[in-house]
Amino acid sequence: MSWRASVLSLFPDMFPGPLGQSLAGRALENGVWSLDVTNIRDFAHDRHRTVDDTPFGGGAGMVLRPDIVDAAVAAVADDRPVVCLTPRGRPFSQDDARRFAAGPGIVLLCGRYEGIDQRVIEARQMQEISIGDYVLSGGELAALVLLDAIVRLLPGVMGAADSAVEESFGNGLLEYPHYTRPAEWQGRSVPEVLLSGHHGAVAAWRQAEAERITRERRPDLWAAAASRHHAVTAAS
Ligand code: ADE
């Protein structure tokens, strides 16, 4: 049984989109994972196929009805986690990607309009997840981001070389800079140590650069990595 993604959306034509290409696209063709997309509107029951209504308490925008969303979830739900994409969610991380990749698959609910009735989020025990502190016009692009990050971790999707790279982000640091030929380009040369053929010196330089870049760009990641390192050395 391959890893299964089910997407619930009002814009099903947005899928598979970019996931039909490249690494994820090939894995989809090879049956490493499968994708089914359900139009939430198919579960409306009036003549106008209405899926939303005005918010109780007033205010702008429309809210997706819990009964319609519940029926759409029921059509695909099994033992997989149900994730609701929303800027109100917990931030998505590489750890989440690993956790979802290790399971049977995922159900992704893409919100639109002002939101989704909170009762169906609770009743279906959905995990609310955000891909960052900005507001998209819907959850579809966020769902594509989650799937891309997860699918590349599925067994057989990436080569051995790339798995090592994923391990290197797994250490909580940003990656060191990369260089290839020509060794001199527009008056810019490649750091000398990389041409030295000295593997130990190269590894040390890369580690130092990864640490410097993480410290400069992401003090939050640096503090977390430093406290993990501290815990490890304190325990030994
Ligand atoms: N829907 C709208 N904005 C979003 C975000 N930042 N993350 C996840 N889903 C969203």
Q: How does pLDDT run across 68-99, given as a tens digit for each residue? A: 999 999 999 999 999 999 999 999 999 999 99
Query: What is the Å distance from ligand 1's center to 13 Cα?
Result: 18
Q: Residue 234: what pLDDT?
A: 73
> Which residue's alpha carbon is nearest to atom 9 within ligand 1?
86
Q: Which of 84, 130, 140, 144 to mutate to test the pocket of ligand 1 (most atoms within 8 A of CB)?
A: 130
> Which residue's alpha carbon is nearest to atom 10 within ligand 1?
86
Contacts (Cβ under 8 Å, ≥6 apart) of 198 = none
Contacts (Cβ under 8 Å, ≥6 apart) of 146 = 83, 85, 92, 96, 97, 100, 106, 108, 129, 131
Q: Which token pair is 152? A: 């590349």
Residue range 147-200, pLDDT digits in tens: 999 999 999 998 766 665 655 566 899 999 999 999 999 999 999 999 999 999
Residue range 18-73, pLDDT digits in tens: 999 999 999 999 999 999 999 999 999 999 999 999 999 999 999 999 999 999 99
Q: Which token pair is 208? A: 């130092």
